[in-house]
Amino acid sequence: MDRDNANATRLRVNRIALIQQIDTQELIPKLIRARIISSDHDVQYIYQGTSKIDRARRLIDCLLKKQPEHINRPANWFLLFRSILLENPSVYNDLVTALDNTIIRVPDSIHLKSYVFTNGSNVNRENINQNSIHKSEQQQNNEQKKNSDMINNYQHYIKNIEFDRYAMNKVVIEGSFQKVIDNLTYHSQIPERLFDQLYHSTNSYDREQYYTEQKIFDKMRRIELLINLLKQEKSLSNKNIFDTEIIDLLLDDSIHQHYFYKYFFSLSSIYGIYYDQKFVHALKESLNKEDNILNIVEKGFLLHHFLYNYGRYELCQQIIECIIQSLTKLVKQHNQKPIIWTYLFRGCCALVQVHNQSFQIQQAWARIEAANEITDSLKISGIEIANHEYVWLYSVISQTAYEDANFDACIQYNYKGLKLVDKNNHSLVIDLLCSLTHGLTSKWIMNKAQATALMAVQYATKYCGRNSPIYIHALQQLVQYSNEFIQDRSSVELAQYTLDRARIVYGYESLIVAHCHRALSKSLINLASTIHPRHNIQDSLFEDNINYYPNTTTTTTTKDLSSSAYLHHANEAFRIAQDWFGVEDRIRLFPFKMSLAHALQAQIAVDISDKKNTYFKDAMELLNDCLSIAQDIFGSMSFKVAQVHRLQSATYLSKKMYNEAEQELNKCLQIYKLCLPPNSFHYLVTNASLGLLYKQQQNYEQALILFQNIAESLGKFCFSKEQVTVCSEISSIEF
Band the pLDDT of 419: cuts 50, 70, 90.
Answer: very high
Which comes out higher in pLDDT, residue 714 or 620?
620
Any idea which of 206-210, 534-538, 617-621 has the lowest mean pLDDT? Answer: 534-538
Question: According to the model, what pLDDT value does residue 141 have?
Answer: 57
How confident is the model over 626-640, as a mean pLDDT?
92
Q: In what helix (H) or strand (E) does residue 424 lie, and over which residues does it extend? A: none
> How many CB atoms within 10 Å of residue 606?
12
Look at residue 721 and tell me whether its pLDDT is greater than 60: no
pTM value? 0.77
Band the pLDDT of 511: cuts 50, 70, 90.
Answer: very high
Question: According to the model, what pLDDT value does residue 715 have?
Answer: 63
| CB-based burial label for 500 (10 Å; 0-12, 13-18, 19+) | middle
Q: Is the dihedral of CA 620, 623, 625, 628 positive or negative?
A: negative
Question: According to the model, what pLDDT value does residue 431 have?
Answer: 96
d(CA 614, CA 617): 5
How many angstroms separate the Cα of 658 from the Cα of each of 83, 111, 435, 614, 731? 37, 62, 37, 19, 21
CA Rg value for the chain: 29
pLDDT digits (tens, 9 = 90+) for 462-474: 999 999 999 999 9
pLDDT digits (tens, 9 = 90+) for 35-48: 888 877 888 888 88
Specify whether the CB–CB gap between 675 and 639 falls below 8 A: yes
How confident is the model over 589-602, as a mean pLDDT?
95
d(CA 614, CA 354): 36
All structural domains of the chain: 3-100 (1.10.533.10)
Alpha helices in 67-136 (DSSP H): 77-86, 89-100, 108-111, 120-127
Query: What's the per-residue H, E or C state across 472-485?
Result: HHHHHHHHHHHHHH
How many CA atoms does the CB half-sphere of 254 hold within 13 Å?
15
Q: Is the dihedral of CA 329, 335, 340, 341 positive or negative?
A: positive
d(CA 41, CA 47): 10
pLDDT digits (tens, 9 = 90+) for 377-408: 888 888 888 888 899 999 999 999 999 989 99
d(CA 468, CA 475): 11
Specify whether the CB–CB gap between 154 and 214 falls below 8 A: yes
Question: According to the model, what pLDDT value does residue 43 have?
Answer: 85
d(CA 267, CA 258): 15
In sequence order, what DSSP letters do the residues of 594-613 get, joined into one string?
HHHHHHHHHHHHH--STTHH
Specify whether the CB–CB gap between 207 and 132 falls below 8 A: no
d(CA 330, CA 340): 8
How many angstroms separate the Cα of 96 from the Cα of each of 11, 82, 92, 93, 103? 11, 7, 6, 5, 13
Q: In what helix (H) or strand (E) does residue 56 lie, and over which residues does it extend? A: helix 52-64
